[in-house]
Structure 1
Amino acid sequence: MATIELRTVVPAPIDRVFDLSIDVDAHTASMSAAGERVVGGVTHGPMALGETVTWAARHFGVTWRMTSRITAYDRPHRFVDEQVRGPFRHWYHEHLFHQPPTTDGVGGTVMVDRIEFTAPAGPLGHAVTALGLRRYMRRLIERRNAYLVATLSGAHPPG
């Protein structure tokens, strides 16, 4: 199993960061480079506990479908999405949000992504993960987070 943990500081209140992070439209916009689109489940707006969404996107020259479900939801502090069907043997993505105390009055939210995944195909999948899949997945999450930061700070989001 591979793990990824990212910490991103977002210059916005915790409730706004949480709400945009769980929004299907924001996710689709942040993954536009991969042509990601919704093909089932919740099609627009924020998701709630127990809801599913099915994404289709092109990665490594192949179109993949992945259905994920929101399995934990504690607004505005935490939610978890897990793969129900899709390319991974296992996919677990925990999103954590906290607003640390500040002395400068500027504030912001620390967003933490904790991801655990296992590629398919046993030893071959393990090798693919080691050779670049982990790095590729990390960059996708970094791109999504850059989109969230840009959107919430009023800048033009990256494409």
Structure 2
Amino acid sequence: MPRIELETVINAPIERCFDLSRSIDLHKISTEHTNEEAIAGVTLGLIKLNESVTWRAKHFGVYQILTTKITEFDSPRFFVDEMVRGAFKGFRHEHHFESIENGTLMTDIFEYQSPFGILGKLVDIIVLKRYMTKLLIKRNDTIKEFAESDQWEAVLSQ
């Protein structure tokens, strides 16, 4: 099962980073390039334990539908979203937050299974892991940008 681990240091309080990470509105901003929109479940604001969101986005030239659910939640240190329905065989995305000097260490652990057996594993090696890593880095850069500036207020006040 492919695994992507990313660490992002953010010069902002842990609570702000945690909330921005579960903001549907900020997620839409970070994925504008894929035309991602929340079409069912929680479609605005902050997602919480046992809530789900269904996303519609264009990846590899094709619109796809993906539903995730928050399955674990320990504010402001940790939450997990897992795929309920979508193109993957499955995925689990852990979001960890730790207070550090001058801010927060945000760690993502993203594990997924591609469909289509051996063919899926080949796609992982050639393109998918790199593609997913770039998506997560873009998301984390957006969280960092908003958390470290006044932009967070507009997103979290909604």
Q: How many residues align?
A: 152
User: Which residue, 103, 108, 125 being the options, matches 1:108?
Assistant: 103
Moved over 6 A (4+): none
Number of the residue aligned with 1:86:
86
- Which residue is equivalent to 2:2? 2
Deviation, structure 1 residue 154: 1.3
The one-letter code matched in structure 2 to 1:56 is R
Change beyond 3 A, Cα 1:50–1:11: same
Segments of structure 1 that go 5 or more residues without pairing to the other structure are: none
Distance 2:59 2:134 in 1: 12
Root-mean-square deviation (CA, aligned residues, Å) is: 1.3
Q: What is the match of residue 11 of structure 2?
A: 11
When normalised by structure 2's length, the TM-score is: 0.93
What displacement does 1:116 show? Answer: 0.4
| Shift, 1:7, TM fit | 0.2
Indicate the residue corresponding to 1:125 in structure 2.
120
Residue 156 of structure 1: CA displacement? Answer: 7.2
User: For 1:21 and 1:52, how far apart are their aligned partners in 2?
Assistant: 15
Gap regions ≥5 residues in structure 2: 153-158
Counterpart-to-counterpart distance in 2, 1:155 and 1:134: 33
**Which residue of the partner structure matches residue 142 of structure 2?**
147
Aligned to 1:24: 24
Match of 1:49 in 2: 49
Letter in 2 for 1:123: I
Q: Which residue of 2 aligns with 1:134?
A: 129
Aligned to 1:74: 74
Alpha-carbon distance in 1 for matches of 2:13, 2:72: 21
Q: TM-score, normalised by structure 1?
A: 0.93
Measured against aligned partners, the alpha-carbon deviations of 1:97-143 in whole angstroms (never above 9, x if no partner) come to: 0012x3xxxx1100000010011111100000010100100000000
CA distance in 1, matches of 2:139, 2:150: 14
Give the AA of the match of 2:8: T
Percent same amino acid at aligned positions? 43
